[in-house]
């Protein structure tokens, strides 16, 4: 059942097609761990069921445990013990899921196992009686690690069950990523554009307290007939067995009695995830009315926040811990119709507040995406199996979705609100130049003709913003007017970057349409006349890169001499500013630092002058010594530059600095063959995948975008052109180092 090399995690839980929240939760863990770690952390499942052979499971289910029979627990444990390739057993625990008094049959399973054990408590009940406390204490003692989903559950375990703090790990309930702009799109698709949509979802039972909202509806509808309330989900299978549709029938009777047929919609289905997320995403307000004050956590609650709903909730521990005035309204009493009615009316009648709550909930939920949760489970697995060094991130698939969304027929827009393009931000030459080089690079890999359409748009923008004298402006608004920024900002870097991009395009003339290259050559010739005026270090560096690429396709002594002049300018800056402990071109490190040693190395490649190679290597190694710390990349903060005489600031890291590090590491490895550059390149790319101080992904797997910044306690989840294009270029470079679909890189103690 697997080789010894593949040390697996076995999850013990209910599992689809069984219909319950824990089954969905476990399935999400399996899928997200596979997406993040691939075959370096394979997972099998031991499915729990009430009767033998009830369900047809997927291939990942290798054991079925009938929870009503105590002998099954020991027998399954013995089979697992014989498996050398199972390194860890992760038990999903919920009271009522396992047989015996307070589920104590599970203890025989744990006692028989000789593998490391994680037990995930989905519910931690306060004020336990002696028997419950005894069972929970035994589960804690027999487990190597306890996972809970909220801080409140951790507090209860410590204070009321005497659990050691060191044994507990808080890992929140995971959430799925949805795209912000889908809210309005889906409302239109479902003909709800002029409605205010409220929803509740989950397996229906009397404990859901849905009548609390129904009784509040008549007064709400009288004032706001545009309100729709969707009750999403079928009746819980266990309730169906005991009492049929008694509770649902009660709810439909209330709807008829109160004449709410036009405002209350029952969606009596166990929905596929994709459809469920659509309903939640188009919802404006989510209502959580559970009657159980001890419900520690709710997946439905978490999903609603991640879909950008303003939430009104009863005070279960999860809601108390998560909701505040910026994300929703906490109703202080259970079963209080008037309080829910008051809260609903407040949000209906205050649109800006409602929208703000939804945006804040959406933003805060980024930390709990399933990919981020998978990283936490992966690290816990590595800790308990001593296999952390064997874990490797999967390379995410390349997606151009967001780049296409940001691109109009004029060019690529500068910024977005979350993932929604922001036309008011206008266009920059910087971003369109990046877009052009990325599309040409993408085309060289995949020969996908469709990207040439994007490349054509970006080249047209470059052509259109070049002046008659060959210089380039940088900023245009949405109406294509040049903005005041062009007069306020030094445009040298943008002009240098344009020469780099044009040189690169011309160097790919063998694969690109001749007329496309011809247009780039015309721009190049006009811009080349101004090279002698370049003075800023980064503009010099970008220009050197452009000259190198142009020299590849049209070698000449004139180009070489021009490169020597510019490289000597950088060399002179180095001689002026360097010191014994400061091997750099300036008295400070600012942005896109890597381009300076990169340009020096390109100068060496073109001229074969070894003094450029020497300084390129010295300065790049000096830069890297400040970037790589304890197995992680930490680039210069945008909060304050790193000055020669000052303490360095941390946090405020941006994707452009990471991407340029990867670009330069790739070049140095290709030129020198020094394996340390390849190793550091892979560590650097892991920054995007979760190897950063927040242990969170920096890219959006739904649309291929990249988030705009890594701060000290949060990620800026806006997805602008610069960050997304930089991530794409870094990802394209990683194609050179990928083996099949697996990214062969150690996580190196995140």
318-358 pLDDT, tens digit per residue, is: 888 889 999 999 998 888 999 999 999 999 999 999 999 99
Query: In terms of domains, do 136 and 242 share one?
Result: no
pLDDT for 44 beyond 90: yes
Bridge partners (DSSP) of residue 196 are 227
Burial 299-319 (b: 16+ CB within 10 A, else e): bbbbbbbbbbbbbbbbebbbb
Residue 657 in domain: no
Whether residue 30 is contained in a domain is answered as: yes
Residues 256 and 364 in one domain: yes
- The pLDDT score that the predictor gives to residue 750 is 30
Reading phi first (left if > 0) and then psi (alpha if -120 to 50, else beta), residue 177 is in beta
Closest listed residue to residue 107, CA positions, set 144, 148, 136, 149: 136
pLDDT of residue 247 exceeding 50: yes
Residues 192 and 291 placed together within one structural domain of the fold: yes
Residue 138 sits in the same domain as residue 189: no
Average pLDDT over residues 731-747: 64
What pLDDT was estimated at residue 594? 96
| pLDDT at position 529 over 90 | yes
Residue 739 confidence (pLDDT): 52
Q: Determine, yes or no, domain membership for 655.
A: no
Assess whether 36 and 110 both reside in one domain.
Answer: yes
In a domain, 438, yes or no: no
pLDDT tens per residue, range 500-525: 999 999 999 999 999 999 999 999 99
Q: Is residue 274 in a domain?
A: yes
19-35 confidence digits (pLDDT tens): 888 999 999 999 999 99
φ, ψ dihedrals at 317, nearest 5°: -55, -40
173-187, 228-242, 360-374: segment of lowest average pLDDT: 228-242
Q: Is residue 444 part of a domain?
A: no
pLDDT at 161 over 90: yes
186, 145: one domain = no
Q: Who wins on pLDDT, 388 or 716?
A: 716
| pLDDT tens-digit readout, 481-493 | 999 999 998 899 9
Angstrom CA distances, 745 to 197, 704, 734, stand at 45, 21, 11
Is 411:428 a contact under the CB 8 Å cutoff? no
Q: State residue 166's pLDDT score.
A: 95
Query: What is the C-alpha separation between 12 and 461, in angstroms, rounded?
Result: 56
Which residue range is the domain that position 64 belongs to?
8-170
- The residue among 314, 344, 368 that closes a domain is 368
Q: What is the CATH number of the domain that holds 354?
A: 3.40.50.2000
Q: Is the pLDDT of residue 555 over 60?
A: yes
> How confident is the model over 632-661, as a mean pLDDT?
82
| Residue 514 lies inside a defined structural domain of this protein | no
Residues 74 and 214 in one domain: no
Residues 62 and 165 in one domain: yes
Which of 110, 103, 68, 107 lies closest to 89, judged by CA?
110
Structural domains in the chain (count): 2
User: What per-residue confidence (pLDDT) applies to 392?
Assistant: 92
> Would you state the pLDDT for residue 604?
98
Is the whole-model pTM more than 0.75? yes
Q: Is 180's pLDDT higher than 60?
A: yes
**Alpha-carbon Rg for the chain in angstroms:** 29
Residue that terminates a domain, selected from 115, 136, 170: 170
Instruction: Tell me whether residue 303 is in a domain.
Output: yes
In this structure, are 248 and 299 located in the same domain? yes
89 and 129, same domain (yes or no): yes
Residue 746 has pLDDT above 60, yes or no: no
Query: pLDDT exceeding 90 applies to what percent of the chain?
Result: 84
Placement of tokens 């806006």 in the chain: 718
Question: Are 157 and 281 within one domain?
Answer: no
Mark which of 135, 170, 205 sits at the end of a domain.
170
pLDDT at 19: 85
Are residues 243 and 133 located together in one domain of the fold?
no
Name the strand (E) or helix (H) holding 710.
Answer: strand 709-710
Could you tell me which residues come within 8 angstroms of residue 253 by beta carbon, excluding any fewer than 6 positions away? none
Q: By the 8 A CB rule, do 523 and 481 touch?
A: no
Q: What percent of the chain has pLDDT over 70?
A: 97
Q: Cα–Cα distances in Å, from 214 out to 247, 254, 347, 533?
A: 13, 7, 17, 73
Mean pLDDT, residues 615-625:
97
Rounded to the nearest integer, the mean pLDDT of the chain is: 93
pLDDT of residue 335: 86
């Amino acid at each position: 059942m697997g080789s010894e090399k593949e040390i697996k995690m076995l999850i013990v839980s209910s599992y689809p097609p069984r219909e319950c929240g824990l089954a969905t939760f476990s399935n999400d863990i399996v899928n997200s761990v596979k997406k993040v770690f691939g075959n370096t952390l394979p997972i099998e499942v031991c499915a729990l069921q009430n009767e033998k052979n009830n369900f047809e499971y997927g291939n990942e289910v290798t054991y079925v445990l009938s929870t009503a029979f105590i002998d099954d627990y020991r027998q399954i444990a013995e089979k697992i013990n014989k498996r050398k390739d199972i390194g860890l057993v992760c038990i999903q625990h919920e009271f009522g899921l396992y047989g015996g008094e307070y589920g104590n049959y599970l203890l025989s399973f744990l006692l028989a196992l000789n593998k490391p054990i994680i037990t995930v408590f989905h519910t931690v009940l306060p004020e336990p009686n002696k028997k419950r406390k005894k069972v929970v204490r035994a589960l804690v003692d027999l487990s190597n690690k306890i996972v809970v989903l909220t801080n409140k559950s951790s507090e209860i375990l410590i204070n009321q069950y005497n659990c050691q703090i060191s044994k507990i790990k808080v890992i929140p309930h995971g959430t799925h990523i949805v795209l912000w702009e889908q809210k309005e799109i889906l409302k239109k698709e479902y003909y709800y554009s002029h409605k205010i949509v409220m929803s509740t979802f989950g397996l229906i039972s009397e404990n859901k307290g849905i009548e609390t909202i129904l009784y509040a509806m008549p007064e709400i509808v009288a004032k706001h007939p545009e309100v729709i309330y969707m009750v999403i989900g079928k009746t819980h299978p266990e309730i169906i067995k005991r009492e049929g549709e008694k509770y649902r029938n009660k709810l439909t009777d209330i709807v008829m009695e109160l004449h709410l047929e036009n405002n209350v919609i029952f969606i009596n289905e166990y929905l596929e995830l994709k459809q469920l997320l659509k309903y939640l995403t188009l919802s404006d307000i989510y209502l959580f009315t559970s009657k159980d004050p001890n419900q520690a956590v709710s997946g439905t609650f978490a999903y609603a926040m991640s879909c950008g709903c303003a939430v009104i909730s009863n005070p279960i521990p999860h809601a108390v811990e998560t909701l505040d005035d910026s994300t929703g309204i906490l109703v202080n009493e259970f079963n209080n119709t008037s309080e829910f009615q008051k809260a609903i009316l407040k949000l209906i009648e205050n649109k800006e507040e409602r929208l703000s709550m939804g945006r804040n909930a959406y933003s805060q939920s980024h930390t709990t995406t399933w990919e981020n949760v998978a990283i936490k489970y992966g690290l816990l697995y590595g800790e308990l199996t001593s296999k952390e060094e064997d874990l490797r991130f999967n390379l995410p698939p390349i997606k151009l979705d967001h780049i296409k969304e940001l691109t109009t027929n004029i060019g690529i827009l500068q910024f977005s609100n979350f993932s929604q393009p922001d036309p008011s931000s206008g266009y920059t030459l910087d971003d369109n130049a990046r877009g052009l080089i990325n599309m040409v690079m993408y085309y060289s890999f995949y020969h996908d003709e469709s990207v040439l359409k994007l490349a054509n748009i970006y080249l047209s923008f470059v052509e259109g913003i070049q002046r008659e004298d060959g210089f380039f402006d940088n900023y245009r608004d949405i109406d294509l007017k040049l903005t005041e920024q062009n007069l306020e900002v030094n445009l040298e870097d943008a002009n240098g970057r344009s020469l780099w991009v044009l040189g690169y395009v011309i160097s790919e003339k063998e694969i690109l349409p001749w007329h496309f290259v011809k247009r780039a050559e015309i721009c190049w010739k006009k811009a080349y006349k101004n090279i002698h005026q370049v003075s800023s270090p980064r503009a010099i560096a970008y220009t050197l890169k452009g000259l190198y690429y142009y020299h590849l396709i049209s070698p000449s002594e004139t180009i070489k001499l021009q490169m020597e002049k510019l490289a000597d300018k950088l060399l002179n800056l180095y001689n002026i500013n360097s010191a014994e402990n400061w091997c750099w071109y300036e008295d400070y490190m600012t942005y896109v630092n890597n381009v300076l040693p990169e340009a020096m190395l390109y100068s060496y490649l073109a001229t074969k002058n070894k003094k450029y190679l020497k300084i390129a290597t010295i300065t790049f190694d000096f830069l890297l010594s400040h970037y790589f710390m304890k197995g992680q990349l930490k680039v210069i903060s945008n909060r304050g530059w790193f000055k020669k005489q000052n303490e360095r600031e941390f946090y405020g890291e941006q994707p452009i600095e990471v991407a340029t590090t990867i670009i330069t590491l790739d070049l140095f490895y290709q030129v020198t063959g020094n394996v340390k550059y390849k190793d550091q390149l892979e560590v650097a790319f892991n920054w995007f995948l979760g190897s950063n101080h927040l242990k969170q992904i920096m890219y959006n797997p739904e649309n291929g975008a990249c988030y705009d910044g890594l701060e000290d306690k949060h990620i800026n989840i806006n997805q602008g052109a610069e960050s997304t294009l930089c991530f794409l270029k870094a990802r394209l470079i990683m194609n050179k180092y990928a083996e099949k679909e697996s990214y062969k890189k150690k996580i190196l103690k995140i």
